[in-house]
Amino acid sequence: MRKRYLFLMSLVAFVSIFFVGMQSQNVYAASQYGIARKYTTPKATRGTWYYRETDKFSSDKKTIYTLKITAHTANKDKLYVPSQKFFKKNVYNVSSKKRNAFIKKVMKKNIYAAYNFKKGFNVNNWVNLAGDGVYYIPVTRTVKGKKVKALKIATGADQHASAYAFKTKALAKAAK
């Protein structure tokens, strides 16, 4: 009986130390890259979406692509809210050499900045010095005379729609 009790107490101590160690690593990563917190995507944008590239510059308008948005990811890209205080101190107000070193370090990680935009959200590079990223905006579209929920995938300063995503492949195929 005593051996069981001793084994159980040792196991509890080991698990406790393991979890404390994991938490300190997460805090270190957050402070190292300027992560304020995880970004939570709007519920209307979550799920698996299917789309075809429909803009005039697309070379392949027949292939149906898949986009998966979860509570904290978009196409497996982890989304975070950047700490503006960290960026002012460590990115924007430093030499270009230090800034470029930071950008190279961050590019090896799978972290992206996300911001609220209208009813959807915007995903951009972690260190955004230029560009507007990709916008995901829930909208309604008419497909074969019926209004259906869709997701506008847009880019650029004017949120130019590069595609509309739908909940099923059949809708994506039928949409013009």
Q: How confident is the model at residue 18, as a pLDDT?
A: 47
Q: How confident is the model at residue 50, as a pLDDT?
A: 97
> What are residue 141's DSSP bridge partners?
148
What percent of the chain shows pLDDT beyond 90? 41
Q: How confident is the model at residue 48, as a pLDDT?
A: 98
Claim to verify: residue 16 and residue 74 sit in the same structural domain: no
Distance (Å, rounded) from C-alpha 66 to C-alpha 155? 18
Claim to verify: residue 122 and residue 159 sit in the same structural domain: yes
Q: How confident is the model at residue 130, as a pLDDT?
A: 65
Claim to verify: residue 66 and residue 9 sit in the same structural domain: no
Residues with pLDDT less than 70, the chain: 1, 3-30, 55-60, 129-131
Claim to verify: residue 137 and residue 170 sit in the same structural domain: yes
Claim to verify: residue 20 and residue 41 sit in the same structural domain: no
Claim to verify: residue 63 and residue 128 sit in the same structural domain: yes
Claim to verify: residue 138 and residue 162 sit in the same structural domain: yes
**Distances from the Cα of 89 to the Cαs of 50, 54, 94, in angstroms?**
41, 42, 7
Domain count, the chain: 2
Structure tokens at 60: 């392949």
Range of the domain at 42: 35-174
Claim to verify: residue 17 and residue 88 sit in the same structural domain: no
Q: How confident is the model at residue 29, as a pLDDT?
A: 56
pTM attached to this predicted model: 0.76
Strands 65-69 and 47-53: antiparallel
Q: How confident is the model at residue 167, as a pLDDT?
A: 96
Asked whether the beta carbons of 85 and 71 are under 8 A apart, the reply is no
